[in-house]
């Protein structure tokens, strides 16, 4: 069983100089101070990198918003074009209607003239019927004078007189009906005839429709111009966001290289044998990794799990979880074996934040108990901070730790605690090999 230093135990004082080795002692102290300074620079670089990540996220959101705005503006532009097209069609339809109205007006005028002719003919018939009645009356009188010889003629004369009366009555009725119809046609003709001095209701309505169509057309044209300006401005903003994204990527890559350089410098100093401040945590990570590897090899040897199940990478999503959780075929085994080692590592130093074993893809089947709380539905912030087990951490730090095959790896990064809270941590990582295969890495995170 590995022996762990007691919680809060002081680290060995390696700064004491042996007699005759003052120069070496001074050099060691200088290297240690340099390592501390580099570590501080690494912390600053991690914070800068984190700030750049935040800015990058904001810019990405802005870029997405600009793309959505551009799509909406395009749709609005299409709608404006459709309105302009419909307005032009409406104006043309109004003009055609006015033209048709003029044709109808001409037809009505022609109809009125025809009715006037009919009325004149009826009046003429009335005159003829009056004359016929007068002739028939005179004929009847003469027939009476003729006595018995004129009786037959008198009957004919009376019949002609009666027929003439009927004709007169009918012709007068026709004249009256035509006069009434003529009056109505005259009023209708007045409505159909355009008169600027005294417009009819029909022409007034047409005029109002034309004005409305013109206003719509003018508004559509103005809106179209505004849309063109908005499109131009949106394209400018999109270009600016793209330039900002590219600039941030350059800065992000630079900070990434700078951060990794500081980490590598500390690693090289530690590899040289100088007892830097991080060495106890590096050894603790290596010891924990060795113990985890021994437990997994024992489980394989005892038949507790098969090689295929231990190296299972078929991550099955857990429904209703946010952040997303997954399960694998080795979860039950790690829940049984890992806590003993991982929880003991938390007591190594009050600076230790967590100790976890991740597979090669950054999957954390079993976290420290305090971070293995069941998720609360709908509470993503709380879940992010407290339900960190059964999750895949495949970010820069997570994947580098999981796939590191060197004796150890040092990293500095910001840890997302949920709700916009972050802490800057250091992390010592050691690889976990099982049966000659790289299973993953032991991650020991600690505060500065």
Average pLDDT over residues 115-126: 72
> Which residue bears the tokens 């190296």?
311
Position 373 pLDDT exceeds 60: yes
Identity of the highest mean pLDDT range in 45-54, 158-167, 282-291: 282-291
Least confident stretch, 148-157, 368-377, 419-428: 148-157
Cα gap 131→126, rounded to integer Å: 9
Is residue 312 within 8 A of residue 326, CB to CB? The reply is no
pLDDT digits (tens, 9 = 90+) for 290-335: 999 999 999 999 999 999 999 999 999 999 999 999 999 999 999 9
* Phi (first) and psi of residue 431, to 5 degrees: -75, 150
Instruction: Look at residue 194 and tell me whether its pLDDT is greater than 70.
Output: no
pLDDT for residue 185:
73
Q: Are 260 and 253 in contact (CB under 8 A)?
A: no
| Model confidence band, residue 358 (pLDDT cutoffs 50, 70, 90) | very high
Q: Given a cut of 80, is residue 197 above it in pLDDT?
A: no
Phi, psi (rounded to 5 degrees) for 124: -65, -40
User: pTM of whole model > 0.85?
Assistant: no
Lowest-confidence pick of 44-53, 175-184, 338-347: 44-53
Alpha carbon of residue 248 to chain centroid: 24
Which of 81-85, 204-208, 233-237, 436-440 has the least mean pLDDT? 204-208
Token output for 112 = 């009125």
Yes or no: say if 376 and 35 are a contact pair by the CB < 8 Å rule. no
Write the CA distances from 371 to 74, 295, 342, 363, integer angstroms. Answer: 48, 22, 12, 15
Residue whose entry in the numeric block shows the structure tokens 């010889």: 149
Choose among 208, 228, 202, 197: nearest CA to 81: 228
Q: Is 178 or 350 the better-scoring residue by pLDDT?
A: 350
pLDDT at residue 13 is higher than 60 = no
Query: Which residue shows structure tokens 């994204």?
Result: 245
Structure confidence at residue 370 (pLDDT): 96
Q: Are strands 391-392 and 352-359 parallel, antiparallel or unpaired?
A: unpaired
**441 pLDDT more than 90:** yes
Read off the pLDDT of each residue in 421-438 and give the average, rounded to a whole number: 93
Answer for the pair 335, 356: CB distance below 8 angstroms, yes or no: no
The kind and range of the H/E element at 182 are helix 151-192
Q: What is the pLDDT of residue 4?
A: 43
Question: What span, in angstroms and rounded, lies between the C-alpha atoms of 38 and 44?
Answer: 10
- The percent of residues in the chain predicted with pLDDT above 90, rounded, is 35
Tens-digit pLDDT profile for residues 240-268:
777 777 766 776 576 667 566 767 776 77
The CB density around residue 153, as the number of other CB atoms within 10 Å, is 15
How many angstroms separate the CA atoms of 123 and 125, rounded? 5
Q: Which residues pair with 359 in a beta bridge?
A: 440
Q: What would you measure as the largest C-alpha separation in the chain, in angstroms?
A: 187
| Mean local confidence (pLDDT), 422-437 | 94
Residue 128 has pLDDT above 90, yes or no: no
Q: Write down all domains in the chain, each with its CATH number in brackets.
A: 21-277 (1.10.287.950), 278-448 (3.30.450.20)
- Helix residue ranges, H only, 10-149: 22-146
pLDDT tens-digit series, residues 375-417: 999 999 999 999 999 999 999 899 999 999 999 999 988 877 6
In this prediction, residue 15 carries a pLDDT of: 42
The answer to whether residues 442 and 290 touch, using CB atoms and an 8 Å cutoff, is: no
Instruction: Note the pLDDT of residue 125.
Output: 76
């Amino acid at each position: 069983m590995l022996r762990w230093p007691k919680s809060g135990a002081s680290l060995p004082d390696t700064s004491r100089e042996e007699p005759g080795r003052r120069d070496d002692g001074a050099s060691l102290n200088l290297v240690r101070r340099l390592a501390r300074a580099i570590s501080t620079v690494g912390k600053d670089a991690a914070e800068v990198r984190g700030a750049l990540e935040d800015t990058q996220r904001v810019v990405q959101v802005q870029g997405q918003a600009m793309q959505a705005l551009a799509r909406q503006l395009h749709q609005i532009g299409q709608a404006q074009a459709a309105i302009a097209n419909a307005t032009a069609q409406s104006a043309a339809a109004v003009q055609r209607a006015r033209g048709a109205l003029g044709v109808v007006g001409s037809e009505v005028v022609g109809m009125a003239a025809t009715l006037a002719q009919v009325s004149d003919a009826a009046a003429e018939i009335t005159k003829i019927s009056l004359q016929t009645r007068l002739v028939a009356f005179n004929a009847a009188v003469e027939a009476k004078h003729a006595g018995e010889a004129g009786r037959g003629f008198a009957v004919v004369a009376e019949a002609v007189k009666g027929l003439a009366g009927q004709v007169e009555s009918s012709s007068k009725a026709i004249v009256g009906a035509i006069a009434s119809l003529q009056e109505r046609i005259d009023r209708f003709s007045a409505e159909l005839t355009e008169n600027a001095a005294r417009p009819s209701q029909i022409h007034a309505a047409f005029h109002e429709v034309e004005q409305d169509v013109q206003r719509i057309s003018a508004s559509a044209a103005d809106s179209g111009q505004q849309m063109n300006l908005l499109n131009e401005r949106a394209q400018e903003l999109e270009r600016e966001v793209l330039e900002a994204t590219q600039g941030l990527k350059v800065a992000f890559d630079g900070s990434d290289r700078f951060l990794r350089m500081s980490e590598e410098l500390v690693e090289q100093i530690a590899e040289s044998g100088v007892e830097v401040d991080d060495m106890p945590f590096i050894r603790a990570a290596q010891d924990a990794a060795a113990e985890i590897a021994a437990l997994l090899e024992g489980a394989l040897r005892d038949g507790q799990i098969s090689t295929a199940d231990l190296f299972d990478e078929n991550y099955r999503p857990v429904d209703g979880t946010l952040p997303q959780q997954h399960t694998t075929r080795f979860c039950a085994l790690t829940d049984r074996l890992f806590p003993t080692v991982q929880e003991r590592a938390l007591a190594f130093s009050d600076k230790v934040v967590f100790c976890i074993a991740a597979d090669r893809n950054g999957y954390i089947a079993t976290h420290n108990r305090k971070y293995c709380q069941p998720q609360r539905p709908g509470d993503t912030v709380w879940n992010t901070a407290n339900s960190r087990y059964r999750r895949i951490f495949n970010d820069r730090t997570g994947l580098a730790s999981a796939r590191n095959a060197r004796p150890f790896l040092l990293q500095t990064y910001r840890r997302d605690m949920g709700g916009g809270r972050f802490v800057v941590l250091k992390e010592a990582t050691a690889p976990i090999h099982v049966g000659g295969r790289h299973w993953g890495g032991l991650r020991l995170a600690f505060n500065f």
